[in-house]
Amino acid sequence: MKISIRNAEKDDIEGIMSIEHESFHTNIAENSDTFLERIETFSHGFLIIVIEGEIAGYISSELWDYSENIDTGKFVLGHSIAETHRNDGKELYISSIAVLKKYRGKGYGNALFSELEKHITCKYEIASIILIVSENWHAAKSIYEKNGFRQVHVISGFFDDENNSDAIVMRKNRSN
C-alpha cells in the first residue's frame, strides 16, 4: 500500500471536508473557509495522510503565545487562525484531527499526531502543546494520554452536539 504524510495544499480541501463531515456532528464540523485559512496561514502545521491516492486523514494546528493561564476564548470552533496564530508563538495548539472511518483503528491517527509533533518541534521552539477533546471521543483521548498529555481544565457544555458535551483541555509541557 502506498502511504504518505505531507503538508496540505488548498487543492486538498475537498478530501479534507469529506473527512470533516464524516467525523463530526453537523453542529460542530468546521467549514471549508476555516480550513483554507489554516492552510494559507500555517501550512507547516497542517498535515494530511494519503493512502493509495485518497486523502485518509488530516491534522491541523496553530501557534499561540504561551501563557500558563488558559484563555478558554481561544478555543472557539471556526475561529479565524489569522487572529490567534503567531509565527513565533511557543504553544502549539492542535485545532483538529480526523481519519476517514474505513481507515480508523490502524494507527494512522497516531502516525499523523506523532509526525506533526516531530515536524513542528524541530522547526519551532515549542514550550507546550495544547488541545481540547470531547469527554466522549475515546480514541482521541487515548492518543493524547499515550503521548503524555494531561487534563488541565474542563469547559462545561462546550460542544453543541446532542449531549452538549464538555471539552477537556489537555496540555503537554516540553522541556526544550
- Rounded CA-CA distance 171/116 in Å is 15
Smallest separation (angstroms) from ligand COA to the CB of 78: 14
Give me the residue whose beta carbon is nearest to ligand COA. Answer: 109
Position among 78, 107, 148, 157 found at the interface with ligand COA (CB under 6 A): 107
Q: Is 170 in the site for ligand COA (CB under 6 A)?
A: no
Nearest one of 6, 21, 10, 44 to 98, comparing CA atoms: 21
Position among 104, 153, 172, 174 found at the interface with ligand COA (CB under 6 A): 104
Q: Is 123 in the site for ligand COA (CB under 6 A)?
A: no
> What is the torsion angle, in degrees rounded to the nearest 10, for the CA atoms of residue 106, residue 63, residue 151 and residue 24?
-50
Three-state DSSP class for 13? Answer: helix
61 touches 46 (CB < 8 A): yes
Q: Return the amino acid letter for 50.
A: V
Q: Give me the numbers of helices (H) and strands (E) for the chain, helices first please.
A: 5, 7
- Rounded CA-CA distance 64/123 in Å is 15
Among the residue ranges 7-15, 70-78, 96-104, 122-130, the one whose residues contact ligand COA (CB under 6 A):
96-104
Position among 139, 148, 150, 151 found at the interface with ligand COA (CB under 6 A): 139
Position among 32, 67, 80, 105 found at the interface with ligand COA (CB under 6 A): 105
Q: What are the C-alpha distances in Å from 125 to residues 2, 89, 91, 158?
A: 32, 8, 9, 30
Site mask for ligand COA (CB under 6 A), range 30-69, x = bound:
----------------------------------------
Q: Is 97 in the site for ligand COA (CB under 6 A)?
A: yes
Position among 21, 118, 123, 146 found at the interface with ligand COA (CB under 6 A): 146
- Residues in contact with ligand COA by the rule CB under 6 A: 23, 96-99, 104-110, 133, 137-140, 142-143, 146
